[in-house]
């Protein structure tokens, strides 16, 4: 398949009514990433693009579709949604399937084998540093690096791809989608990242003594403004009512109801922030697929991936389990095996 081929297939599927909408990427006003395109119009599908700028995890929009409030008497259109998935995103689909949140027939998966996407924040700061014209329309980013289009057609190289590649992609072990219906282009070779390389940052972090760890996270969590960007962009944070945010309940009176619906208050303070992030990390244990969207969405740059990779490493070392690789197996924390390590009970 090719880019154009896949687009015409989607258009055919839309026209025949086999899918209800398409979730892909389109060029927006931010030159450092392609923004999500959610549409059921044939004209708009033509705007879709596939490149190293496809940073978003679009699986979130499948979950969102279930959450749309409909007028009385209307029911949800249950036809599948065509969604573009990279390696990491496809694993998120698997987790949702494992947890019976969606059915396989709810999605039509367009796999996009990927050799890494860029880190928009890193690219942007390098661009400000190295470019002179400050014209965002004159940027070209490809898998060769970041270029500035100068007068005429001449291009000036501003950065190598290595410099702007997303951190999560540098340690990615699954470059090809693990579940898909159609591929945009041929599968790519895996990067052959070893576990040691993948968990290097976590290893370094683990070597710190407890006081230093505490200081590190105190500094990071006190920055949090609790915008809930990390939670709202996460494809696996699908709860109707989050225990860490007053999503549905707006109880303002001091009665017991507050404690039942939310574990923390709206008050932004260090204690609540720690509770929020620690709870979220625990809830993502054995589930997080490291798509890195939380860290990208965070406006105050909290290194959330470090937190979740630590949890991922623990799960891997304990149970040899990797999240989202197979939609048929049971989620690791929903199973019991007599050989499971449980040294934490002893002593």
Partner 1 sequence: MAKFVEDINKLLVELASKVELYVPTTNKSIVNFEKFTGEPFEAEKFKNSTEPIKKILFPESEILYFYKKDENGYKFEQVPLDEKKKIIFGARPCDCAGVERLDRVFYGDYMDPYYDARRKNTIIIGLACNEPPYHSCFCTSVDLSPSSTVGMDVLATQLENGYLLEEISDKGKELLGSSELVRDANEDEVKKAKKLHEESHKKVKKIDIDTNAIEFESDLWGREGKRCIGCGTCTFLCPTCHCFTIEYVGSTRQGRVIRSWDTCQFQAYSLEASGFNPRPNKGERVRQRLHHKYRYFADNFGEFQCVGCGRCVNLCPVNIDVREVMVYFKKKKQKEEVIP
Interface with partner 1 (CB under 8 A): 28-30, 33, 35-39, 56, 60-61, 64, 68-69, 121, 128, 134-136, 219, 223, 225-229, 231-233, 245-250, 252-255, 258, 265-269, 293, 296-297, 299-301
The edge-to-edge listing of strands for the beta sheet with 81-85 is 35-39, 21-26, 81-85, 107-111, 182-183
Query: Of the two residues 81 and 179, which places its CB atom closer to partner 1 in the complex?
Result: 81
Query: Of the two residues 84 and 315, which places its CB atom closer to partner 1 in the complex?
Result: 84
Query: Of the two residues 156 and 268, which places its CB atom closer to partner 1 in the complex?
Result: 268
Query: Of the two residues 134 and 153, which places its CB atom closer to partner 1 in the complex?
Result: 134
Give the shortest CB-252-to-partner 1 separation in angstroms: 6
Cα separation, 165 vs 202, whole angstroms? 19
Name the DSSP letter for residue 118: B
| Bridge partners, 37 (sequence order) | 24
Give the shortest CB-176-to-partner 1 separation in angstroms: 25
The edge-to-edge listing of strands for the beta sheet with 139-142 is 139-142, 145-149, 155-160
Burial profile 170-198: b = 16 or more Cβ within 10 angstroms, e = fewer: ebbbbbbbbbbeebbeeeeeeeeeeeeeb
Give the shortest CB-267-to-partner 1 separation in angstroms: 5
Element (H, E) at 38: strand 35-39
CB 21 within 8 A of CB 36: no
CB 74 within 8 A of CB 306: no
CB 119 within 8 A of CB 164: yes
Query: Of the two residues 207 and 250, which places its CB atom closer to partner 1 in the complex?
Result: 250
Query: Of the two residues 57 and 94, which places its CB atom closer to partner 1 in the complex?
Result: 57
Query: Of the two residues 18 and 223, which places its CB atom closer to partner 1 in the complex?
Result: 223
Give the shortest CB-192-to-partner 1 separation in angstroms: 30
Give the shortest CB-47-to-partner 1 separation in angstroms: 12
CB 161 within 8 A of CB 169: no
Give the shortest CB-172-to-partner 1 separation in angstroms: 20
Give the shortest CB-207-to-partner 1 separation in angstroms: 20
Cα separation, 160 vs 146, whole angstroms? 6
Give the shortest CB-208-to-partner 1 separation in angstroms: 16
Give the shortest CB-308-to-partner 1 separation in angstroms: 17
Going by their DSSP bridges, the two strands 107-111 and 182-183 should be labelled as parallel
Query: Of the two residues 216 and 319, which places its CB atom closer to partner 1 in the complex?
Result: 216
Name the DSSP letter for residue 104: G
Query: Of the two residues 187 and 266, which places its CB atom closer to partner 1 in the complex?
Result: 266
Q: The dihedral of CA 94, 165, 35, 125: what is its sign?
A: positive
CB 158 within 8 A of CB 125: no
Cα separation, 109 vs 103, whole angstroms? 12
């Amino acid at each position: 398949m090719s880019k154009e081929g896949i687009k015409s297939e989607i258009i055919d599927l839309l026209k025949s009514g086999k899918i209800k909408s398409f979730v892909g990427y389109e060029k927006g006003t931010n030159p450092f990433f392609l923004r999500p395109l959610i549409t059921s119009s044939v004209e708009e599908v033509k705007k879709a693009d596939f490149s190293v700028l496809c940073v978003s995890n679009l699986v979130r929009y499948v979950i969102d579709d279930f959450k749309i409030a409909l007028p009385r008497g209307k029911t949800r259109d249950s036809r599948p949604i065509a969604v573009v998935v990279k390696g990491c995103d496809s694993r998120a689909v698997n987790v949702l399937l494992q947890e019976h949140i969606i059915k396989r027939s709810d999605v039509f998966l367009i796999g996009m084998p990927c050799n890494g996407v860029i880190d928009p924040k890193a690219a942007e700061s390098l661009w400000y540093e190295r470019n002179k014209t400050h014209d965002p329309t004159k940027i070209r980013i490809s898998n060769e690096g970041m270029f500035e289009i100068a007068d005429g057609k001449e291009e000036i190289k501003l950065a190598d791809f290595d410099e702007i590649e997303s951190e999560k992609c540098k340690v990615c072990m699954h470059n090809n989608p693990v579940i898909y219906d159609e591929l945009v282009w041929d599968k790519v070779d895996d990067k052959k990242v070893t576990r040691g390389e993948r968990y290097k940052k976590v290893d370094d972090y683990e070597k710190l003594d407890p006081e230093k760890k505490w200081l590190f996270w105190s500094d990071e969590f006190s920055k949090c403004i609790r915008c809930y960007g990390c939670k709202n962009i996460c494809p696996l944070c699908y709860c109707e009512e989050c225990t860490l945010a007053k999503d549905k309940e707006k109880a303002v009176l001091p009665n017991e109801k507050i404690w039942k619906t939310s574990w923390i208050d709206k008050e932004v303070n260090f204690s609540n922030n720690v509770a929020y992030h620690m709870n979220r990390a625990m809830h993502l244990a054995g589930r997080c697929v490291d798509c890195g969207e939380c860290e990208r969405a965070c406006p105050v740059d909290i290194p959330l991936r470090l937190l979740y990779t630590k949890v991922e490493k623990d799960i891997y070392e304990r149970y040899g389990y990797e999240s989202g690789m197979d939609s048929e197996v049971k989620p690791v924390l929903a199973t019991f095996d007599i050989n499971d390590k449980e040294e934490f009970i002893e002593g």
